[in-house]
Chain A
Amino acid sequence: MTTATTATVPRRRRRLSAIARQDRVGLFYVAPFFVHFVLFGAIPIVFTTALAFFNADFQTYYDFITTHQLSVLTNAFAGLENFRELFKDSYFWLALRNTFSIWLISTVPQLVIAFGLASLLANARLRASTFWRTVLMVPNITSVLAVAIVFQQLFGRDFGIVNVLLHYVGQKPVEWVAGTIPSHAAIATMINWRWLGYNSLIFLAAILAIPKELYESASLDGASRWQTVRYVTIPQMKNTITFMLVMGTIGGLGLFVEPLTYGGGFDGGANSQFLTMTLYLYKQAFMNQRLGYGAAIGVGITLVVMVISAINFMITRRIAGEESK
């Protein structure tokens, strides 16, 4: 950039090239991120979006890779066909409903409980607080597969501990896999167990960062405990809550490993009762080899995430608005 403009002005050139050198060093520092992003982020996104417009399966892939004929691709071009099919595909809408259901059952209680736990941990009189914080993180570093195996045992229909306990209190066994809502609850429990501690610690950090003076002035104004939480703590944690909502949305709508391992297959249960959107993508793209349609499902998921993010944004703006009250 600099060479063209500075060619006729030697003095400025020296100064600018120093800056340019600095720029280059800076670029060097940030390069790993951008290289990684381009390779594993940007290219796959562009590729997937383009793929969604093709009627491509492994046959197309093999044809193209062995013949290198462009006609293979032009013949496979399908325009909006995949999206039209997606719109009419009852399994995609079922997967959307299932995903939302599991997401709601896992996110809402999780954030509330995490907030409560964080408040407990923030208490200055709590002993061995580092120990408790470490304990909270343990589930998060446990392998998902191990979690799945343990939860399958807990929620076994005939010999699982949960149903055995229910039996002792006189309840009928719950169909933790065959039932729709029970299976969602079981999967949500798996997610909650893993992420509760992590979310608590994020909340805790945010709570500890709130200046003490705000609480002091609130108590001087005679604010009740609830009012303090409502008008001091929550608005102060605006950024944290936004972060958690965004991460929760991405994680929740991209739900894949838990339902896959819980049911032991890509079908999401005999009645597709816990088939999630990404599981359906996997099934169509890789079990059914319909790469183009799988890509269209991926674009569909992206659109859904965008809509939810917009809603999140509005909620966050509301919290920000209340801050000024």
Chain B
Amino acid sequence: MKLGSLSRGVLGCALAFGLAFAGVGPSAQAASNVTLTVWSYGNVFEPKIVDMYRKAHPNVTIKITKMNLDDEHNKLLYALPSRAVPDIAAVEMAYMGQFRQPMIAAQFTNLNTLGASKIAKDYLPFRWTQGTGLNGSQIGIPTDVGGLAVAYRTDLFKKAGFPTKRDQVAALWPTWDRFITVGKQFQNKVPGVGFMDSTGTLFAAVLNQGTQKYYDSKTRAAIYRTNPTVKQAFDIAAKAGCTFMKNNKCAGSIGTKINQFSPDWGAAMNKGAFATVLAPAWMLDYIKQQAPGTKGKWDIAAVPGGGGNMGGSMLTIPKKAANVKAAWDFVSWYLAPAQQLKTFQLYGLFPTTHKMYSQPSIKNYKDPFFNNAPVGAIYSSSALKLKPIYAGAKDRLIDSTFGQALARITQGTQTKSCGKFAAQTSGAAWCQALQDIQHNIGQ
């Protein structure tokens, strides 16, 4: 469930990604009438920006159909070999592993044939690679990069007697273990306030700092049970999710029991019920929208391990799309450096076009909502530290199953014993998660 909410966060990333227009230049397109059909989820496409494109291209009609995240991807999977495909489809990172499988990737337009290879150098290499099919064709262009940092409440940190300056705060937690220790200290000093909003978010944060997740990048075999990074990420999130037991039930964690993006989450943020949020760049806009009254009370520090990434989407064009050329014209415009820069300035979504990171407009960008934190510098250094991570066919399902296990630990609902592990232990939750994944994916 926690990871379920992660994916919604990712969806929110899509939401935030959007605004993207700089001078809409005249296009070389012929002026015949075209209707572009687009499948999307969340707010991948910001209506106002799409309108800007429409104004510059009066001959192009853009019809966007928004669906539930999972529904959109499932519908796309089965529509791809047929003619019932859209001209443009947004694909979320958790699903990219599935769509990159050679047989499926072959059903997308190889964007290199339209000129994608010429713009490849503009984009972060690891995000670009995520859009390359296993058959070698380029099936997607990356939208934004999450990066990862910790947004923290300076007022609550002060209450706990902690330093409030961002460099000193980052120095508190060089490792994830230290992060948990700091969380325990915080909760002892400020009772009733959670150190984090949701400890389940730690899982993806730690996992994405590695180079492999659930599948081996070379053999493509399932390695979720043997990959040490998976176990490490699970153990850290489990340790944070249950700091001590009472009456054989988890009685403490360094987070609240609130799921991200639930109605309770917004309420808790306004009331200052938690002190930190693991924040990809797109999360900042969420905080501003959910709790406008907390302006100036936040600051942003580096995450343990330095780098990190959560979320992001790809824009793809199915092979059987009716208007491949016009679709490419729109996609390449929408994700061009100039538009991504505007998106960042207006919505805080971090560009995937890394050449711009050294420009003053990003390098020197400070956000007053977050106590003038150098948001541009923080997220660009986080994004540049990342290596490509191999996404596998059933990442979404496996993410979700581990999320369930972590939620069981925090909620104290791990009622089943498993293997040699007794009920209510994190060992049993891990063991049951492995069984559930094996039960579902059969390997």
Q: Is A44 an interface residue (CB 8 A)?
A: no
**Chain A residues whose CB sits within 8 angstroms of the CB of B404 once the complex forms:** 267, 269-272
**Chain A residues whose CB sits within 8 angstroms of the CB of B4 once the complex forms:** 263-265, 267
**Chain B residues whose CB sits within 8 angstroms of the CB of A272 once the complex forms:** 404
Interface string of B382-404 (1 = CB under 8 A from A): 00000000000010110011011
Whether A273 and B413, one on each chain, are in contact in the complex, defined by CB atoms closer than 8 angstroms, is yes
Query: Bound complex: CA of A65 vs CA of B320, how far in Å?
Result: 14
Whether B81 and A66, one on each chain, are in contact in the complex, defined by CB atoms closer than 8 angstroms, is yes
Q: Is A62 an interface residue (CB 8 A)?
A: yes
Interface size class of chain B, counting residues whose CB lies under 8 Å from the partner chain = 35 or more
Q: Is B244 an interface residue (CB 8 A)?
A: no
Q: Name the interface residues of B98-125: CB closer than 8 Å to any CB of A.
A: 103-104, 107
Query: Bound complex: CA of A61 vs CA of B74, how far in Å?
Result: 13
Q: Which of A91, A270, A271 contacts B439 (CB 8 A)?
A: A91
Whether B103 and A59, one on each chain, are in contact in the complex, defined by CB atoms closer than 8 angstroms, is yes
Total A-B Cβ pairs within 8 A? 101
Whether A288 and B441, one on each chain, are in contact in the complex, defined by CB atoms closer than 8 angstroms, is yes
Q: Name the interface residues of A89-106: CB closer than 8 Å to any CB of B.
A: 89, 91
Specify the chain B residue showing the minimal Cβ separation from A149.
B263
Specify the chain B residue showing the minimal Cβ separation from A180.
B413
**A61-B78, A270-B407, A270-B408 known; A160-B1 Cβ under 8 A:** no
Query: Bound complex: CA of A287 vs CA of B393, how far in Å?
Result: 11
Q: Is A192 an interface residue (CB 8 A)?
A: no
Binds B, one of A113-121, A150-158, A315-323: A150-158
**Chain B residues whose CB sits within 8 angstroms of the CB of A287 once the complex forms:** 70, 74, 396-397, 400
Query: Bound complex: CA of A286 vs CA of B5, how far in Å?
Result: 19
**Chain B residues whose CB sits within 8 angstroms of the CB of A157 once the complex forms:** 257-258, 264
Q: Which of A65, A91, A159, A264 contacts B81 (CB 8 A)?
A: A65
Query: Bound complex: CA of A160 vs CA of B261, how far in Å?
Result: 14
Query: Bound complex: CA of A277 vs CA of B441, how far in Å?
Result: 19
Whether A286 and B413, one on each chain, are in contact in the complex, defined by CB atoms closer than 8 angstroms, is no
Q: Which of A58, A65, A158, A178 contacts B411 (CB 8 A)?
A: A178
Report the interface size for chain A: residues with CB under 8 A from the other chain.
36
**Chain A residues whose CB sits within 8 angstroms of the CB of B74 once the complex forms:** 286-287
CB distance from B60 to the nearest CB of A (A): 31
**A62-B103, A158-B258, A286-B74 known; A271-B413 Cβ under 8 A:** yes
Q: Main SS of the interface on chain B?
A: helix
Interface string of B401-420 (1 = CB under 8 A from A): 10111011001111100000
Q: Is B268 an interface residue (CB 8 A)?
A: yes
Whether A264 and B8, one on each chain, are in contact in the complex, defined by CB atoms closer than 8 angstroms, is yes
**A65-B81, A288-B397 known; A264-B5 Cβ under 8 A:** yes
**Chain A residues whose CB sits within 8 angstroms of the CB of B82 once the complex forms:** 65
CB distance from B25 to the nearest CB of A (A): 40
Residue of B82, B267, B405 with most partner-chain A CB within 10 A = B267
Q: Is A266 an interface residue (CB 8 A)?
A: yes
Mark B residues whose CB is within 8 Å of A. 1, 4-5, 8, 70, 74, 77-78, 81-82, 103-104, 107, 256-259, 261-264, 267-268, 271, 273, 394, 396-397, 400-401, 403-405, 407-408, 411-415, 439-441
Can you pick out 24 interface pairs between chain A and chain B where the beta carbons lie within 8 Å of each other? A58-B77, A66-B81, A149-B263, A156-B262, A156-B263, A157-B258, A158-B257, A158-B267, A158-B268, A159-B264, A175-B411, A178-B257, A178-B411, A178-B413, A264-B1, A265-B1, A266-B400, A267-B1, A272-B404, A284-B440, A287-B70, A287-B397, A288-B394, A288-B397
20 additional contacts (CB under 8 A) given A270-B405, A270-B413: A59-B103, A89-B439, A91-B439, A157-B257, A158-B257, A158-B267, A158-B273, A159-B264, A159-B267, A159-B268, A178-B407, A178-B412, A263-B4, A264-B262, A265-B4, A265-B400, A267-B400, A270-B1, A286-B70, A288-B441
